[in-house]
Amino acid sequence: MKKVSIKHLLAAAVVAATPFVAGASVYDVNGDGSVTAADVTAIYNYMLDGDMTHSTTCDVNGDGHITSADVTLLYDILLNGLPVPERLVGGDISMITRYEERGAIYKDRSGNTISNILPLFKEQGWNAMRVRLFVNPENASASDKEEGVIQDLDYVKALGKRIKDAGYALVLDLHYSDSWADPGKQTVPAAWSGASVEDLQDSVYSYTRSVMLAMKNAGACPDFIQLGNEITGGMLWPTGHIYPTGGAPDGGSWENFVAYQAAGSRAVREVNPATKIILHVEMHNANQPGGFFTNCESYGVDYDVMGLSYYSAYHGDFNTLNTALNKMEAASTKSIMIMECGYGYAWALPGTNYDLTSTYPYSNEGQKKFVTDLIGVLKLHNRSVKGLFWWWPEANEYNIPWSNHVTGSWWNGSLFNNNNGVAQDALYELKTFIE
């Protein structure tokens, strides 16, 4: 065993003044439910006593030994936050709390009941989760609430802390709206209605800053944050409405859109500089994402990651995806993440434009093959594509009576079968993205 150096004793003393940082169970050495200076002290004491009965929990860096390196790692975590993997795979699990509250039963693919699905995802190599946040979902329509618009700040703080404590990187998806924001609508929150461009900038800044502070204080500081959801056509319409490849409709402008983004990014950088900013778009054709990011680069927008939604049912086959990725790589040297993807396991997704069932039938096997081939395409872009997130993998109405249903219609691209709660094979295949 190495001796504890003066450097590390001093480091431990400095950490003792740090009251708390959001952590994960893998770093919770003393098992008190959080990662604090007490965990550093626990390792130090075990090392002094020569007590190896805690070797599993104390070997936080996984090198097979308990040394000062483990102390250093926890010290760095307390000062700088949890390390984030270079490549991420996971899903948007924004509805998991509601499914659990309503009594959904989840099973692994062998049919064994699972009391908590986060460890299952972890066992399958998932290392990141995404959660959406609306400004005030109480203002959403009844039909939108029926389809999943329920995530207010209290909901997201609780779920975000659970995700972080389970050892995942957290992606926070800000919608800057009271309900769904997407390429078809980017509605200004009711509380900001009628505001001038300058006042909207102030609202974006103050709201983003307050969210970041609230998440940080809750032990759920996001590792990544989306400043808007699917903002291919801008945000906060009409003033922030744009055309992705240049220009804007009447009432909107790229200058306004860039100003809103600048306000959001300034708030993020002030509260937690380590949080990476994602700009998230989708595509009606393969040219749009590249054009959008070319313009963002020319305007000097402050961001870290190019995010993309890809659904073959709506956007086309893998040739279309490959072309879009090529154009994004030409637009910027920043990394790319697939923030949303999905494919049906029983029938077509609503509004399907492209039928790929000759290659990917709507079945457990077809969904798995879709994932396998999708990852094959993404690995052609290993230098740039660093993240892959499945949309709504937790959807599961099994054991929930219709009188207490979670959503008015089933999401058929889930990774659990709504009829029996059993995990789909695609869930187990996604980890190959980071292997």
**CATH number of the domain where residue 229 is located:** 3.20.20.80
Residues 299 and 424 in one domain: yes
What pLDDT is stored for residue 81 in this prediction?
61
What pLDDT is stored for residue 173 in this prediction?
98
What pLDDT is stored for residue 80 in this prediction?
58
- The 3-class secondary structure across the chain, one letter per residue, is CCCCCHHHHHHHHHHHCCCCECCCHHHCCCCCCCECHHHHHHHHHHHHHCCCCCHHHHCCCCCCCCCHHHHHHHHHHHHHCCCCCCCEEEEECCCHHHHHHHCCCEECCCCCEECCHHHHHHHCCCCEEEEEECCCHHHCCHHHHHCCCCCCHHHHHHHHHHHHHCCCEEEEEECCCCCCCECCECECCHHHCCCCHHHHHHHHHHHHHHHHHHHHHCCCCCCEEEECCCCCCECCECCCECCCCCCCCCCCCHHHHHHHHHHHHHHHHHHCCCCEEEEEECCCCCHHHHHHHHHHHHHCCCCCEEEEEECHHHHCCHHHHHHHHHHHHHHCCCEEEEEEECCCCCCCCCCCCCCCCCCCCCCHHHHHHHHHHHHHHHHHHCCCEEEEEEECCCCCCCCCCHHHCCCCCCCCCCCECCCCCEECHHHHHHHHHCC
Residues 323 and 262 in one domain: yes
Reported as a single tens digit per residue, the pLDDT across 280-289 is 999 989 999 9
Residues 52 and 117 in one domain: no
**CATH number of the domain where residue 27 is located:** 1.10.1330
What pLDDT is stored for residue 53 in this prediction?
56
Work out the average pLDDT over 100-116.
97
In a domain, 369, yes or no: yes
In a domain, 397, yes or no: yes
| Residue 25 domain boundaries | 6-80
What pLDDT is stored for residue 77 in this prediction?
72
In a domain, 154, yes or no: yes
Domain boundary pick from 25, 52, 80: 80
In a domain, 294, yes or no: yes
Domain boundary pick from 80, 107, 124: 80
In a domain, 1, yes or no: no
Residues 353 and 380 in one domain: yes
Give the residue among 85, 84, 88, 81 at the shortest CA–CA distance from 130.
Answer: 88
Q: Yes or no: say if 237 and 187 are a contact pair by the CB < 8 Å rule.
A: yes
pLDDT grade, residue 14 (50/70/90)?
very low
Residues 47 and 128 in one domain: no
What pLDDT is stored for residue 84 in this prediction?
79
Residues 220 and 318 in one domain: yes
What pLDDT is stored for residue 270 in this prediction?
98
Rounded distance, CA 71 to CA 38, Å? 11
Residues 167 and 23 in one domain: no
pLDDT grade, residue 74 (50/70/90)?
confident
Q: φ and ψ at 263, to 5 degrees?
A: -65, -45
Lowest mean pLDDT among 42-51, 323-332, 395-404: 42-51
In a domain, 423, yes or no: yes
In a domain, 337, yes or no: yes
Residues 335 and 406 in one domain: yes
Most confident range, picked from 37-41, 85-89, 213-217: 213-217
Tally of domains within the chain: 2
Residues 62 and 118 in one domain: no
Residues 93 and 20 in one domain: no
Lowest mean pLDDT among 81-85, 102-106, 176-180, 266-270: 81-85
Q: Yes or no: say if 49 and 77 are a contact pair by the CB < 8 Å rule.
A: no
Residues 110 and 239 in one domain: yes
Domain boundary pick from 80, 110, 132: 80
Whether 20 shows a pLDDT value over 60: the answer reads no
What pLDDT is stored for residue 51 in this prediction?
58
Q: Which of 44 and 207 is assigned the larger pLDDT? A: 207
In a domain, 217, yes or no: yes
What pLDDT is stored for residue 89 in this prediction?
98
Work out the average pLDDT over 232-254.
97
Residues 329 and 424 in one domain: yes
